[in-house]
Every structure is written in structure tokens, then in C-alpha cells.
Structure 1
Amino acid sequence: MGKHNEFGKEGEKIATDFLVQKGYVIKHKNYRYLKSEIDIIAQKEDVLAIVEVRARSNDQIIPIADTITKKKIKLLVMGADYYVTENDLDIEVRFDVITILKNKSIFKIEHLESAFYHF
């Protein structure tokens, strides 16, 4: 496995731990539907958070959150819609991004709630 894949998995673990500490219940990790993959599905009270995790070792070129394309957003929406329908949920759905920036052994975590809206 490449170093970037290892760091990606480490980033998802850090994001999961971060959400649990904030009172979220992790419902699913790496949920797949067709071409859609959702990194984390978490719930806090009456909100279901569809979470995209972005981890990088530098933020020099563009901010990490800006690397999420319209195509990726559409895939996340499709996967979330299927998850909610499949599980017969009547719940508010929110799309979040957690960015993790690694500088040597220090991690900077940012949780962007309602990072984008489906269109």
C-alpha cells in the first residue's frame, strides 16, 4: 500500500476518533453504493452527517477542502440518498468535510459542518 493510502486510512481513523469525542455515533465507515464511497456516516442527535475526509501532509497549492469536485459531491449525495432510503431513515442529512493536515508529527483537524449542499 502506498504511503498516501496509509496516510488516508490514518486520516479516517483520526477523523472517526475526533467525531466520537464530539459525541457522534459512527454508523458506517467506507460505505459503498455503485461508484459512491462515503468515508464516514455518523449521527449526533437527529442529524446524520455524511463525512468526506481529506488528509494531506501539506496545504501549499490549494486548501484541502477545495479538492472536492462537483462529481465527488454528486456521488456523495447519491450514496447518502441510497443509505437513507435503504435504512428507512427520517432524519436531517448534512454533508461535512473533515480536513487533516499533517506537519511532521502534528495533526491539524478542521471540521467543516454543512460544507456543501447538493444540487
Structure 2
Amino acid sequence: MAEHNDKGKEAEDLVKAWLSGRGYEFVEANYRSGHAEIDLIFKHKGILVFVEVKYRSGTGFGYAEEFVDSTKRKLLIKAADNFVHERDWHKDIRFDIIGVYRDQKGNLNFRQFEDAFY
């Protein structure tokens, strides 16, 4: 597996633990539908939350939310629609982007953008 894939998987695992510690209920990881993949899916306060995880070793090239373009958003929405249909979900949904940043000292920081798009 390529190094960027390893870091992406590690970031997803870190976000899964981080959100679980904040009261989110884990549902599924790496849900695929067609060409789209939803990194993480959680339930939180009666809402189904679809999470796109972005790892950055710094902010020199921009923040996580800047790397989810309109094409990516459309794919995520389509995949989420399929998931909602498969699970017969009739409550609210939300799309979050969570950036995982490693500072110069190697410390990890999380930046969550709730209801980032739709």
C-alpha cells in the first residue's frame, strides 16, 4: 500500500476514535457505492453523519475543506443517497469534513467542519 494510503487509513482510525470519544456512534467505515467512497459513517443525536477525512502534514498547501471539490461532493451525496435507501433511514443526515493535521512537533490536531455541504 502506498504511503499516502497508509496515512489516510491511520487518519480515519484516529478520527473514528476521536468522534467515538465525543459521543458519536460508529456505523460503518469505507462504504462504497459506484466510484464513491464514504470514509466514515456515524450516528449523533439522531442524525446520520457522513464523514470525509482529510490528512494534512501541515497547512502550507491549504486546509482539509479546500480539498473536497464539487465533483467529490456530488459523489459523496450520491453514495449517501444509496446508503440511506439501503438502510431505510428517514431522519436527518449531515456531511462533515474532518481535517487531521500533524504539527511540526508531531502532535495531531483535528478540525471538524460540521454540515460542510449538501
Q: TM-score, normalised by structure 1?
A: 0.94
Q: RMSD of the TM alignment (CA)?
A: 1.0
Cα separation, 2, equivalents of 1:69 and 1:116: 10
What are the Cα deviations for residues 29-83 of structure 1, in whole angstroms up to 9, with x where unaligned? 0000111100001001210001000001121022221011101000000010000
User: Could you tell me which amino acid in structure 2 is paired with residue 11 of structure 1?
Assistant: A
Q: Which residue of 2 aligns with 1:67?
A: 67
Tell me, which stretches of 5 or more residues in structure 2 are unaligned? none
Cα separation, 1, equivalents of 2:13 and 2:57: 16
Secondary structure at the residue paired with 1:59? coil
Secondary structure at the residue paired with 2:11? helix
Secondary structure at the residue paired with 1:60? coil
Count of aligned positions: 117
Alignment of 1:3-82 (within 5 A): 3-82=3-82
Cα separation, 1, equivalents of 2:61 and 2:89: 39
User: Could you tell me which amino acid in structure 2 is paired with residue 102 of structure 1?
Assistant: R
Cα separation, 2, equivalents of 1:26 and 1:74: 23
CA deviation after TM superposition for structure 1 residue 116, in Å: 1.2
Cα pair 2:64 2:97 within 8 Å, conserved: no
Secondary structure at the residue paired with 2:61? coil
Q: Which residue of 2 aligns with 1:108?
A: 109
Cα pair 2:98 2:113 within 8 Å, conserved: yes
Alignment of 1:88-99 (within 5 A): 88-99=88-99
- Structure 1 moving runs of 4+ over 4 Å: none
